[in-house]
């Protein structure tokens, strides 16, 4: 996905068709990734982890997400 984002960044703004095509490819790739996580990873976590473990993972995920969002905001300024 990072490679795809780099390609999108390098597209000439006048190339609307190429931009749309690359965005569509990225959306398809992200959608496939999400479906794979939902059907395999999350199902395995649900089957194999206790409620306490799942709560801990959720807490850690939220903290990591918040950190990434803060880093993104900082880098945009």
Q: What is the pLDDT of residues 3-61, one digit of tens each?
A: 888 888 898 878 889 999 999 999 999 999 999 988 898 889 999 999 999 999 999 99
- Quick check: helix, strand or coil at residue 13? coil
Orientation angle between helical segments 2-9 and 16-36, nearest 10 degrees: 170
* Integer CA distances (angstroms), 56 to 51, 59, 61, 62, in order: 9, 5, 9, 10
**What pLDDT is recorded for position 44?**
93
**pTM score above 0.85:** no
């Amino acid at each position: 996905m990072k490679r795809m984002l780099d390609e999108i960044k390098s597209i000439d703004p006048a190339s609307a068709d190429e931009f749309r095509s690359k965005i569509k490819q990225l959306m398809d790739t992200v959608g496939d990734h999400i479906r794979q996580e939902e059907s395999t990873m999350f199902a395995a976590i649900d089957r194999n982890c206790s409620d306490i473990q799942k709560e801990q993972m959720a807490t850690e995920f939220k903290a990591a997400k918040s950190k990434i969002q803060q880093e993104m905001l900082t880098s945009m300024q």
